[in-house]
Amino acid sequence: MKRMFPMILLFALLLCVPVRADELTLDAPSALLMEKQTGTVLFAKDEHTPREPASVTKVMTLLLTMEAIDSGALSYDDTVTGSAHAASMGGSQIWLKEGEQMRVEDLIKAVCVVSGNDAAVALGEHLAGSEEAFVARMNERAKELGMNDTHFVNCTGLPAEGHVTSAYDIALMSRELIWRHPDIRRFTTIWMDSLRDGVSMLVNTNKLVRFYPGATGLKTGSTDSAKYCISATAEKDGMELIAVILGGSTSDKRFSDAKALLNYGFAAYSLVTVTPESPLPAVPVTLGTQKTVQSVLTSENALLLEKSRANGLTQAVSLPESIDAPVEEGEPLGTLDIFDANGTPVASLPLLAGESIPHLTWSELFCRLLKLAYCGA
């Protein structure tokens, strides 16, 4: 037994060693891992090959729906009436009947939890008048997001010729959804729920919601031709990751691949929010209506760093001795330079002008010169 203890301890220590990106072995032919806030790609495998996404398509359906809600064009309490077309959808569904009325909130829940194809079409028709018009909006939004590998044919992900996207593009639209519309978590983190006053039970198709610590969503998908797909999101220590898997050979391997990507990301990286160690100095302004302009740190002050470089960070402020008026608010003034514990540069964050300082007019300049002449100050 005494001989076994060192071996057990060694095995435990090996389990604590983070896997490297080049050591990841995944079943799926296409995969990608992205950090939400910075949009940094942490791992990629055949990420631009167009493939069928199955119901992961509904990430875009949800994105357009949440954009409409957040813009005020749609409300959670709005009533949607099921059409014959929506009720005819096969695959995963909530058995929506033609003429049945449901709240937008319940339809979103149905899409997020059980991937209801009928619910997705009902939302699309309500927003755009028809599924075809809604799909046109989906493709337009995809172009705006830089989803160059994508062409949608429907809003469900049911098999259709030419309906393709890529692991990279799925990460782009997933990031837009969870970053800009965090309220979607109310639905994507549900494990079990119900509709129609408890008559229709819902169980999430995404097993990670129950079994992966910190899981926040997002969307599964599977068809015979697409095989098993997922856009999986999870958060730990203030960092949220997006793991995309396309073409998994089995459902379990899809989830295993997603967990492997998430585990790698959380083990290897940290998200550090930079704040100045001391108040930032003001910069003297030459011939301005004010003598100084306050420097401020850019709002993009999050750094994604390898964990080995995330501790012991130091800072150095670099600003000019003075700046000529006029100064525009948001104008670059200098940098806040970040170094790791070894003194190696990590990042250089812009320092901006916190306000606009106009140039002195001739009359203001004349008055200032008179004041200097008679008052000496």
CATH number where 296 lies = 2.60.410.10
Q: Identify the band that residue 2 occupies on the pLDDT scale cut at 50, 70 and 90.
A: very low
pLDDT tops 90 at residue 315: yes
Based on the fold, state whether residues 219 and 362 are members of the same structural domain.
Answer: no
Last residue of a domain, one of 269, 301, 331: 269
Residue 106 lies in a domain: yes
* CATH (domain of 140): 3.40.710.10
C-beta separation of 241 from 66 below 8 A: no
pLDDT at 373 (0 to 100): 63
pLDDT tops 70 at residue 18: no
| CA-closest candidate to residue 51, choices 142, 159, 136 | 159
| Mean pLDDT of the region 285-295 | 93
Residue 72 lies in a domain: yes
Active-site pick, 36, 58, 219, 227: 58
For the ranges 17-21, 90-94, 239-243, 370-374, which has the lowest average pLDDT?
17-21
Residue 9 lies in a domain: no
Last residue of a domain, one of 224, 248, 269: 269
Token pair, residue 118, equals: 């009928």
pLDDT at 299 (0 to 100): 87
Residues 6+ apart with CB under 8 A from 14: none
Residue 18 lies in a domain: no
Active-site pick, 30, 55, 92, 222: 55
Average pLDDT of the chain, as a whole number: 92
User: Mutual orientation of helices 131-144 and 167-180 as an angle, nearest 10°?
Assistant: 90
For the ranges 3-7, 63-67, 98-102, 106-110, which has the lowest average pLDDT?
3-7
Last residue of a domain, one of 269, 294, 318: 269
Based on the fold, state whether residues 138 and 100 are members of the same structural domain.
Answer: yes
Based on the fold, state whether residues 152 and 58 are members of the same structural domain.
Answer: yes
Q: What is the C-alpha separation between 213 and 234, in angstroms, rounded?
A: 8
Residue 180 lies in a domain: yes
* Predicted structure pTM score: 0.88
Based on the fold, state whether residues 180 and 59 are members of the same structural domain.
Answer: yes
pLDDT at 300 (0 to 100): 87
Q: How many CA atoms lie within 13 A of 54 on its CB side?
A: 22
Length of the chain in terms of residues written: 377
Q: CA of 327: how far to CAs of 66, 218, 283, 336, in Å?
A: 39, 45, 11, 19
Based on the fold, state whether residues 369 and 241 are members of the same structural domain.
Answer: no
Based on the fold, state whether residues 313 and 168 are members of the same structural domain.
Answer: no
Based on the fold, state whether residues 226 and 319 are members of the same structural domain.
Answer: no
56-96 pLDDT, tens digit each: 999 999 999 999 999 999 999 999 999 999 999 999 999 99
Active-site pick, 30, 115, 166, 270: 115
Based on the fold, state whether residues 260 and 309 are members of the same structural domain.
Answer: no
Residue 1 lies in a domain: no
Based on the fold, state whether residues 40 and 113 are members of the same structural domain.
Answer: yes
Residue 13 lies in a domain: no
Count of domains observed in the chain:
2
pLDDT tops 70 at residue 12: no
pLDDT tops 70 at residue 236: yes
| Mean pLDDT of the region 109-124 | 98
Based on the fold, state whether residues 114 and 175 are members of the same structural domain.
Answer: yes
Cis peptide leading into residue 218 (ω within 30°): yes
pLDDT tops 70 at residue 260: yes
pLDDT at 372 (0 to 100): 66
Residues 6+ apart with CB under 8 A from 319: 281, 283, 295, 333, 334, 351
C-beta separation of 349 from 336 below 8 A: yes
Q: Identify the band that residue 14 occupies on the pLDDT scale cut at 50, 70 and 90.
A: very low
Based on the fold, state whether residues 293 and 223 are members of the same structural domain.
Answer: no
| Mean pLDDT of the region 339-355 | 95
Is-catalytic flag, 58? yes
pLDDT tops 60 at residue 329: yes
pLDDT tops 90 at residue 16: no
Residue 153 lies in a domain: yes
Based on the fold, state whether residues 176 and 299 are members of the same structural domain.
Answer: no
Which residue range is the domain that position 63 belongs to?
A: 24-269
Q: Identify the band that residue 231 occupies on the pLDDT scale cut at 50, 70 and 90.
A: very high
